[in-house]
Structure 1
Amino acid sequence: MRLLHTADWHLGRLFHNLSLLADQRHVLDQLIAIVDREAVDAVLIAGDIYDRSVPPAAAVTLLDDILGELCEARGLPVVMISGNHDGAERLRFGARHLRQAGLHIISDLAGCDCPVTLAANGVEVDVFGIPYADPEHVRSQFSVDVRDFDSAHRYLVERINQQRHASRPTVLMSHCFVDGGSASDSERPLTLGGAESVAWEPMQGFDYVALGHLHGPQYRGGEHIRYSGSLLKYSFSEARQRKGVTLVDMDRNGVTRIEQFPLVPSREVRVLEGELDALIAQGKTDPNADDYLLVRLTDRHAILDPMGKLREVYPNVLHLEKPGMLEPRGPQQLDRKRLRFDALAMFNDFFAQTSGEAMNEEQSRAMGELIAQLSRDEEPRI
């Protein structure tokens, strides 16, 4: 049996206020192509299907299209669990009826110990799903004394272990933060207190563990306890990650092969660093000038409308940083005398860019006196 493990679709996501729905459809079409090319028997989606609990209508339409391609057009079973971004109640609307079409939605904790049994090519596999659940929900639903994410997750895993069938391989799906995992800026913290991680050891005995929540492909405690990663790069901290889906081959004895397949976005997410003139010259011949960019300018002088100038060659510059304008001294302190000295040079640059000529000697002297006076006014008085 061949399973495709994916997670963290975040349909409806905005990236610096820019909709990614077209980009998401692009990579989901590739996911469908992988399903066809690799003869996948079932698809596992480990949470965060949507980016928010009340998704936009276009995101719902996109999910409906993809599930229609998988379940209706190809007759493949799909098992999905809800993540911390999903609205669990909304996601499971119609879940009882959709089972007949091969779509199994696990977003209620009461059903986490009821397996979905998949069968293909003479192999049967039980799939259990733990949707995202904070300790309060677990404590309330099962009347157990769990005080953190780890103890709540351990309790749910124990319930599942009691229902495992000894003669069939077992897959566990879970949307959680496994201890030691590598996070990125785009993952919403599960709790403000910081005690959000769960141990991997209780999951060690499953044949395969399909995880969701962390956006970088990785595994913890063993190659079979794995995050497939998100469909796309959802923050600039993910710029170096390689996104994709995970294919898992299983026979009657368990996993025989695990392989990551890449997804190629229509636009990459990149970080560029350098001086403005050099970046503009580079952009004129850059074959991927439409990529989503964070630009760090290293220029040490004032620049008029740098974003506008960059977008003439890189139309999708989404964020601009200017570390060159600040020279740190010590851990995070500014050299105030240096800053005052540079103020005149920065104004001279501004004046030249707006008027088309440099300040004359009299103008420069007058501005220098004004800056000096403003600096004296800022001095603390004892």
Structure 2
Amino acid sequence: MKFIHTSDWHLGRSLCNRPLLEDQAHVLHQVAAYAQQHAVDALVIAGDVYDRAVPPAAAVRLLNDFLNRMHGLQIPVVIIPGNHDSADRLGFAATPLERSGVHIIADYQQMLHPVLVSTDIGPVYFHGIPYSDPEPVRVWSQEPIASYEQAHQSLLQHIRQAMPEQGVHVLVSHCFLAGSQESESERPLAVGGADQVPAALFDGFAYVALGHLHGPQAFRQGRIRYSGSPLKYSFSEEKHNKGVALVQIDPGGTATTTMLPLSPLHDVRSIEGTLEQLLHAGQTDAQRDDYLLARLTDTHAILDPLGKLRAVYPNLLQLEKPRLYQDDTQPVLSAARLRRDEFSLFSDFYEQASGQSMTTAQHAAMKDVIEHVLKKEA
């Protein structure tokens, strides 16, 4: 049997205040096409379907369109809420939706009833753990639970007690697996590593479909896997290879995985160089419409660098000038260096604004003004 594992869609998200809904629709179309092309038996979304608890209407419509397409293809969809989702809102009408092939495991009672998919290798059961902090698990289980590890251990114990003896078992969870690599765009579940869950808790499942971390990564010979997000949601993810996991389980219950790549409408990447170098490179850059972070290596002040770069790179979202106040020999600035820089900054600004250098008299007058201001502040 075959199924697609995906997660962390974050529908409704923005990147540096740039809405990404069109980009998300672009990759979800590819996910649906993969499901049809490979004739999968199911599709799993391992949490963070939306980017926030109350998603914008356009994000809800996008999910609705995707689920309608899966319904037309008669492909069951298994969904759990992530830490960005509201479990109650995502799980609205979950029971009647089951008859349409949409299985939303949004609470602990639903968790105890796995989704059964009949396949050529026999029954395959999808067990979903809705994202949970330790506190609600402690209240529900009436057990002394204080950590994410204990919460997961308790929920898995309840799942195993209700697990059918026959068939293949797949687990879907949204958590931070110990030893995983995170990126800047994930919201921390807890501080100080208290949110980590050990991989040993997941023994006994043919495959564990994880969500929460945006970089694809695998553990335990690929049996436990993060599919990663379908899009790059921060510049820290620019080296990620985004895609979905096509999981195939043989009659013996062994899972093998193939990552299917997704092509974004706009890539997310960084460029670096002097303003002159970047402007020149942009003239022939076939991907200049990508979402970009520019790092300028110029060591002097520049008038309106953002406007100049956006004339060439229309989707430049972020600008950094890490070398503006330092050189290779003196990375840490002294007070004397800062005083000199104040004058040089104004000199650069004056020259770019007027097209000429200051006269000797202007030079002396500006120095007097800066010294007067510094003495007054002191």
TM-score by length of 1: 0.95
- Report if aligned partners of 1:135, 1:152 keep a CA contact under 8 Å in 2: yes
The aligned counterpart of 1:95 is 94
- Report if aligned partners of 2:76, 2:102 keep a CA contact under 8 Å in 1: yes
TM-score by length of 2: 0.96
Residues of 2 paired with 1:332 and 1:106: CA distance? 53
- Report if aligned partners of 1:106, 1:129 keep a CA contact under 8 Å in 2: yes
The aligned counterpart of 1:79 is 78
Distance 1:27 1:77, change over 3 A: same
What is the CA-CA distance between 1:331 and the residue it aligns to?
Answer: 11
Residues of 2 paired with 1:374 and 1:295: CA distance? 33
The aligned counterpart of 1:39 is 39
What is the CA-CA distance between 1:192 and the residue it aligns to?
Answer: 4.4
Residues of 2 paired with 1:330 and 1:65: CA distance? 57
State yes or no: 1:19 paired with 2:22.
no
What is the CA-CA distance between 1:337 and the residue it aligns to?
Answer: 1.8
Q: Indicate the larger mover: 168-177 or 361-370.
A: 361-370
- Report if aligned partners of 2:299, 2:327 keep a CA contact under 8 Å in 1: no
The aligned counterpart of 1:127 is 126
The aligned counterpart of 1:274 is 273
State yes or no: 1:310 paired with 2:309.
yes
The aligned counterpart of 2:105 is 106
What is the CA-CA distance between 1:125 and the residue it aligns to?
Answer: 0.7
The aligned counterpart of 1:199 is 198
Q: Indicate the larger mover: 165-174 or 232-241.
A: 165-174
What is the CA-CA distance between 1:256 and the residue it aligns to?
Answer: 4.2
Any stretches of 5+ residues in structure 1 without a counterpart?
A: none
Residues of 2 paired with 1:361 and 1:45: CA distance? 68
What is the CA-CA distance between 1:111 and the residue it aligns to?
Answer: 2.1
SS in 1 for 2:369: helix
SS in 2 for 1:101: coil
The aligned counterpart of 2:4 is 4
Residues of 1 paired with 2:338 and 2:243: CA distance? 46
- Report if aligned partners of 1:178, 1:220 keep a CA contact under 8 Å in 2: no
Opposite residue 14 of structure 2, the aligned amino acid is: L
- For 1:317-356, list aligned pairs within 5 A: 317-327=316-326, 333-356=332-355
SS in 1 for 2:233: coil
Q: Indicate the larger mover: 113-122 or 344-353.
A: 113-122
Opposite residue 36 of structure 1, the aligned amino acid is: Q
Residues 42-69 of structure 1: CA distance to partner in whole angstroms, max 9, x if unpaired?
1011000000111000000000000000
Q: Indicate the larger mover: 285-294 or 318-327.
A: 318-327
Give the aligned length: 378
What is the CA-CA distance between 1:332 and the residue it aligns to?
Answer: 8.1
SS in 2 for 1:325: coil
What is the CA-CA distance between 1:376 and the residue it aligns to?
Answer: 4.1
The aligned counterpart of 1:294 is 293
**Cα root mean square deviation, aligned:** 1.7
Percentage of matched positions with identical amino acids: 49
State yes or no: 1:213 paired with 2:222.
no
Residues 319-363 of structure 1: CA distance to partner in whole angstroms, max 9, x if unpaired?
111111122899984222222222222211100111121111111
Distance 1:331 1:343, change over 3 A: closer
- Report if aligned partners of 2:243, 2:259 keep a CA contact under 8 Å in 1: yes
- Report if aligned partners of 2:325, 2:341 keep a CA contact under 8 Å in 1: no
Distance 1:67 1:332, change over 3 A: farther
Residues of 1 paired with 2:69 and 2:94: CA distance? 18
The aligned counterpart of 1:175 is 174
Residues of 1 paired with 2:131 and 2:221: CA distance? 22
Opposite residue 311 of structure 1, the aligned amino acid is: R
SS in 1 for 2:336: helix
Opposite residue 133 of structure 2, the aligned amino acid is: D
Residues 188-223 of structure 1: CA distance to partner in whole angstroms, max 9, x if unpaired?
111246411111101022110000000000023441
